[in-house]
Structure 1
Amino acid sequence: MVEFYEELAEGDHWGSWRVALGRSTVAAYEEEHSVRVLPGSTAHAMLSELGAQVQVEHVRRAIHRDEAFYATTPAPGSTDLFNRPNTQASLSKLLTIFRRDKEGSRWRPASARAFVKVERLLLDWFGAARPVTEVTRDEWRDLFAHLPHVPVGYTRMRAFAGLPLKQVIELADAMEEPPLRLSEKSCADYAIQIQSLLNWANKEEILPKNPAKGLTPPRARAGADRRRFETNELQRLFSSTLYGERPGPTPENGVYWLPLIALFSGMRSGEIAALKVRDVAVVEGVRCFRLRNVDALKTSYSARDVPLHPELLKLGLMAYVEKRRRSGEEELFPDIRPNGKKDRSSEFSRTFRKVLTAAGLTDPSLTMHSFRHSFAHALVALQVTLPVAEALQGWGAGKPRNMFAHYGGRPPISQLAETMARVSYPGLNLSHLHTCRNPTPSSLRRQFD
């Protein structure tokens, strides 16, 4: 294995491979193989970057995907490539050409990152060398049927290392504590990406038709995917060990703040996790979260200003922000690390699942996105207008739902701040977390004037 890594290090694409595969721990390799890797050796350097548990076949797959992702040369015509002598229309080649074609057009960074998961799923299910023309409709139907059983993040779990995806699912089913599976929405997203791939292959005359046309993953029972938090569940969460029972110094970690901000802003977890210190600013006299990070936004309409809820002021958020500002920090929550695809929310979601479990909230339909459902429900209870709700939640991508909002623009920030101040969760008591119990009237006037 070490010789293989040394060979890779001499290649032209080493830098991009390193980014794609990410870092690993030498200690894990030593424990697994009962060997000692000397510091400063070539093996030590390679293992620390590529990962201790990566098998050679996994390395080759990652390299193949990454070469396609970082390619800068113009993509050849798909038909021309597949018509070359002795060239088979393998699944691996199909994925490579599809990615190059999309990257040559207006493919959003988020879409490109999402497709990496689809690539891995298809390669693990069918095999990289499988000719795409030989995959039958029944095989595609079988894949779609198994999507709800795929463990979330199975590629990073040591228990599943090196196993085909079908065996991964069987092993997960046999575990005493089964891992979290793909949600209904995630399954639908995978299906949309796969259909897009096959429709493109049909248009490029690589496939005579889309063999999975009309196939969809099985739907979960109504309401089983994600739901809002009930008041007693919120109280239980914010009285758990993470939050304690008494007010103390301002917490210094994102795990503490993200659920609170999500509940009192309706922002997506990825939007919150990617906040910079400079993104907490005063806009027209109102303290706001300024969402401008393109990589963290779901759509272009998601770029918006979200006024800070008064409850966040009582919880001491501004003291936390100012401390980070004085220390010269750029990231608002530096402890929330991005994964290899620069996605912070997925890594945090796994941590939040442990927080929920520790609080005795084991219902899989409760996730970070449940806070967004709770906030939307609070807006409904206030009977706010659609333009205000869209402006606060970052809705409205594509065709506008409301022609007044389309021609008149978003409501003024002062109106959004007044609405935000009225959002409440009757019965929820967070006084034990308050570090600024009685904000001065002048500070509140500055907030909402």
Structure 2
Amino acid sequence: MRSSAYLSVSRCGVFLVRLVIPSERRSHKDPRDIKFSTLTKDPRCARSIARRLRVYFELYLLQNVRIERQALIEYLRSNMKKPKLEDLAPFNADKDDNGNWRFTDVKPGDVGAIDAFLEAVNRSSQGDRPLSQVALSEPLPERFHEPGRLSSSARLRVSRHIADYLKSEQAREDDKEIGERSLPQTKTRLRPFLERFGTKQIGTLTPADMEKFKKDLVFYPVNAPNLRNAVNLTFDEIVSRSRRKLLLDNDGAIAERLTEATLEGYVTVAIKFLEFAAKQYAVNELVIKGFEVKTNARKGTIKRAFTQTELKSIFGDAYYENANYNRSYQYWVPLLGLFTGARLNEISQLQLNDVRQDDAGLWYIDITASADDDEDEDTKSVKNEESRRLVPVHQQLLDLKFIDFVKEQRRSAPSRKAEIEAKAASAKPGTKEANAKYTPNLFGLTSGTGDKYGKAPGRWFNEKYIAEYLEIKQPEISFHSFRHRFVTSLAQAIVDSSGLGVETVLHERIPESVILRRICGHSGAHVLTAGRNQNDVHTNTYTGAFSIASMKRVIDRLNYPGVHFFDYVEPILGTRKRKNTPAKKAGEFKVSSEELANLLG
């Protein structure tokens, strides 16, 4: 008679032998099986003990008709002999006469464990020790989740995988698959993840780790790498101080935390990295589910489009009527934002040769980045590949003599260059004037750090003109509101002219809606431009099916009724006009004639 013997593992990792007593040989009150501890955590030692116990168990069954449970346990315990440690070399490992290893007790899942065993032997400085002692004296590797599905790369540290991921992103940038700003942003947003998990083996990450990381990320401060009070602090230390409101910014105030939108950006980068690792079978895909936890992150301000009344205030004010602007960008950059839908930096970085004519004589603006071989420090950039596009010059810009302004800047460029170089040569070395360089920028702007060319125009428009002069202090509007207004107005004009509903236009993908995407690139301002990775935006803009003439017919449908635009007056060099906001008396407020008529009915 043969009995069944099974091995199981207790909560402490000790192997247990389970022996089943035949029903006809035991009392109906007794359990049908016996669990007997092998007193070892070594699987090979446990198997040897289990085989020995099974032999004695079957011998006991042959010698006894009726089985008494306690007597059987004492019998097995008296005959259980734990093999010596040196007799149990893992995998029955042995070396032949040539010094090559031989393994005679190997299962398909033991390949990774054999590698770890060989590494342990190589690291050991005591070559005369028994092999079993060499292996058991080494620290056990961290337990991987679903080890049968993970590759050997799961043993590598997270920092190693992040380095490989950044190399792949660099290759994508070189191939123009992503914009040049994407990689620096990825490095910044992976920094907290690297500090938290960098030293861990990636195969040990769990969904619970990601859930806790996202909850802690809520307390991560804005611009953390540049905070003086966060220097040399780890991610956990920064989060701990921010949670207790003890982390201060560079101005001495409590450091502002990430907004909900920015937090999702950090999480998205971490998810993309984990997806990259999952493709190499280095981490379980279920780890990503840990990011589904909801947090109480503060909601950031959602930008909106300018209203018709706000546009009238911006362009119809005495500031433009009396030509109180001191730089050309203060006149042209807002207008270009309103009639091209381009971003602030895209407009501010325009160079003299970026405004061109096609074969039919139609003017257009080429929004693109600098070439790879451009060694100039003040290079142009775009947000992503969808942002490389051609935008026809709107008829309103032609009427305001924008092309005449461009031609004049081209004509005076040599004299401006000579003047700047002469001043730099005569200036004291090391000063700002000595380091000044000529750039063929359309508005005479130079690239700054961070915001690049858009830094000066952005500060002037958002902080000076809108907030201080016009006293429009609403956080949901900024220069980017021009882009929202352009997209929503032109999209509505396309829908109205088609005679169809928005859903139908989106589903049928009529040419005008595709042209809208070509003109403005990706934008969340309208459903016609909100989707990413659609086929039309991956078609090369320069060899696409739409001509400048067809795109101009679409963009000229854009109209802002009731908004008056004053002609451009070239600022006089060497003079500076200041327009201060008149002080209001207590209780005084302004009401336009149109608003007064509405109030009076």
Q: TM-score per shorter chain, which class? A: 0.5 to 0.7
Q: Name the structure 2 match of 1:423.
A: 558
Is 1:378–2:448 an aligned residue pair?
no
Task: Tell me how far apart the structure 2 counterparts of residues 419 and 282 of structure 1 sit (CA, whole Å).
Answer: 18
Deviation at 1:387, TM superposition (A): 3.2
Q: Name the structure 1 match of 2:312.
A: 235
What SS does the aligned partner of 1:327 have?
helix
Deviation at 1:332, TM superposition (A): 2.2
Q: Name the structure 2 match of 1:114.
A: 182
Cα pair 1:172 1:179 within 8 Å, conserved:
yes
Q: Name the structure 1 match of 2:480.
A: 369
Q: Pick closer, same or farther for the CA change 1:158–1:352 going to 2, 3 Å.
A: farther
What SS does the aligned partner of 1:293 have?
coil
Cα pair 1:228 1:366 within 8 Å, conserved:
yes
How well do the aligned residues superpose, as a CA RMSD in angstroms? 4.6
Deviation at 1:233, TM superposition (A): 2.6
C-alpha distance after superposition, 1:340-385 (max 9, x if no partner): 6x95558865665424433434433324332221011211332353
Task: Tell me how far apart the structure 1 counterparts of residues 336 and 355 of structure 2 sit (CA, whole Å).
Answer: 12
What SS does the aligned partner of 1:424 have?
coil
Which of 373, 380, 388 in structure 1 is aligned with 2:515?
Answer: 388
Deviation at 1:280, TM superposition (A): 0.7
Q: How does 1:236-385 map to 2 (within 5 A)?
A: 236-238=313-315, 244-248=319-323, 252=327, 254=329, 256-283=331-358, 284-293=360-369, 296-313=381-398, 315=400, 317-325=402-410, 326-328=412-414, 329-339=439-449, 344=453, 353-355=462-464, 356-358=466-468, 359-383=470-494, 385=512
Cα pair 1:254 1:336 within 8 Å, conserved:
no
Cα pair 1:137 1:212 within 8 Å, conserved:
yes
Deviation at 1:390, TM superposition (A): 2.6
Q: How does 1:18-417 map to 2 (within 5 A)?
A: 89-91=157-159, 93-104=160-171, 108=176, 110-111=178-179, 113-124=181-192, 127=195, 130-131=199-200, 133=202, 137-144=207-214, 153-156=223-226, 165-166=238-239, 167=241, 170=245, 171=247, 186-209=262-285, 211-213=287-289, 215=291, 225-238=302-315, 244-248=319-323, 252=327, 254=329, 256-283=331-358, 284-293=360-369, 296-313=381-398, 315=400, 317-325=402-410, 326-328=412-414, 329-339=439-449, 344=453, 353-355=462-464, 356-358=466-468, 359-383=470-494, 385-394=512-521, 398-400=533-535, 410-417=545-552
Deviation at 1:401, TM superposition (A): 6.3
Q: Pick closer, same or farther for the CA change 1:173–1:158 going to 2, 3 Å.
A: closer
Task: Tell me how far apart the structure 1 counterparts of residues 467 and 395 of structure 2 sit (CA, whole Å).
Answer: 29
Q: Pick closer, same or farther for the CA change 1:249–1:319 going to 2, 3 Å.
A: farther
Cα pair 1:185 1:225 within 8 Å, conserved:
no
What SS does the aligned partner of 2:356 have?
strand
Deviation at 1:282, TM superposition (A): 1.6
Task: Tell me how far apart the structure 1 counterparts of residues 478 and 447 of structure 2 sit (CA, whole Å).
Answer: 19
C-alpha distance after superposition, 1:13-36 (max 9, x if no partner): xxxxxxxxxxxxxxxxxxxxxxxx
C-alpha distance after superposition, 1:315-335 (max 9, x if no partner): 553344234313145222452
Deviation at 1:290, TM superposition (A): 1.7
What SS does the aligned partner of 2:288 have?
coil
Name whichever of 351-360 and 367-376 sits farther off: 351-360
Task: Tell me how far apart the structure 1 counterparts of residues 254 and 393 of structure 2 sit (CA, whole Å).
Answer: 39
Q: Name the structure 2 match of 1:36.
A: none
What SS does the aligned partner of 2:357 have?
strand
What SS does the aligned partner of 1:116 have?
helix
Deviation at 1:265, TM superposition (A): 0.8
Kindly indicate whether structure 1 or structure 2 has the higher relative contact order, using CA contacts under 8 Å at least 6 residues apart: 1
Q: Pick closer, same or farther for the CA change 1:147–1:278 going to 2, 3 Å.
A: farther
TM-score (norm 1): 0.60
Q: Pick closer, same or farther for the CA change 1:307–1:104 going to 2, 3 Å.
A: closer
Q: Is the radius of gyration larger for structure 1 or structure 2?
A: 2
Cα pair 2:348 2:454 within 8 Å, conserved:
yes
Cα pair 2:341 2:487 within 8 Å, conserved:
yes
Task: Tell me how far apart the structure 1 counterparts of residues 311 and 231 of structure 2 sit (CA, whole Å).
Answer: 37
Task: Tell me how far apart the structure 1 counterparts of residues 289 and 560 of structure 2 sit (CA, whole Å).
Answer: 44
- Residue 413 of structure 2 aligns to which amino acid in structure 1? S
What SS does the aligned partner of 1:244 have?
helix
Q: Pick closer, same or farther for the CA change 1:362–1:148 going to 2, 3 Å.
A: farther
Deviation at 1:120, TM superposition (A): 2.7
Q: Pick closer, same or farther for the CA change 1:379–1:150 going to 2, 3 Å.
A: farther
What SS does the aligned partner of 2:340 have?
coil
Task: Tell me how far apart the structure 2 counterparts of residues 259 and 143 of structure 1 sit (CA, whole Å).
Answer: 42
For structure 2, the residue ranges without an aligned partner over 5 or more in a row are 1-150, 371-379, 415-438, 498-511, 523-528, 571-601
Cα pair 1:276 1:331 within 8 Å, conserved:
yes
C-alpha distance after superposition, 1:153-188 (max 9, x if no partner): 454466766665534684479989888876665544
Q: Pick closer, same or farther for the CA change 1:203–1:291 going to 2, 3 Å.
A: same
Task: Tell me how far apart the structure 1 counterparts of residues 391 and 181 of structure 2 sit (CA, whole Å).
Answer: 26
- Residue 140 of structure 1 aligns to which amino acid in structure 2? M
Cα pair 1:391 1:410 within 8 Å, conserved:
no
Q: Name the structure 2 match of 1:7.
A: none
What SS does the aligned partner of 1:191 have?
helix
Q: Pick closer, same or farther for the CA change 1:372–1:147 going to 2, 3 Å.
A: farther
What SS does the aligned partner of 2:185 have?
helix
C-alpha distance after superposition, 1:199-247 (max 9, x if no partner): 112333443445233625769999952221112233344467xx82533
Q: Pick closer, same or farther for the CA change 1:327–1:80 going to 2, 3 Å.
A: farther
What SS does the aligned partner of 2:191 have?
helix
Name whichever of 260-269 and 155-164 sits farther off: 155-164
Name whichever of 278-287 and 173-182 sits farther off: 173-182
Task: Tell me how far apart the structure 2 counterparts of residues 127 and 223 of structure 1 sit (CA, whole Å).
Answer: 25
- Over the matched positions of the two proteins, sequence identity in percent amounts to 21
Q: Name the structure 2 match of 1:14.
A: none
Deviation at 1:289, TM superposition (A): 0.6
Deviation at 1:279, TM superposition (A): 0.6
Cα pair 2:189 2:266 within 8 Å, conserved:
no
Cα pair 1:268 1:372 within 8 Å, conserved:
yes
Name whichever of 205-214 and 284-293 sits farther off: 205-214
What SS does the aligned partner of 1:419 have?
helix
Cα pair 2:515 2:551 within 8 Å, conserved:
yes
Task: Tell me how far apart the structure 2 counterparts of residues 261 and 219 of structure 1 sit (CA, whole Å).
Answer: 39
Cα pair 2:365 2:393 within 8 Å, conserved:
yes
Q: Name the structure 2 match of 1:12.
A: none
Task: Tell me how far apart the structure 2 counterparts of residues 420 and 130 of structure 1 sit (CA, whole Å).
Answer: 54
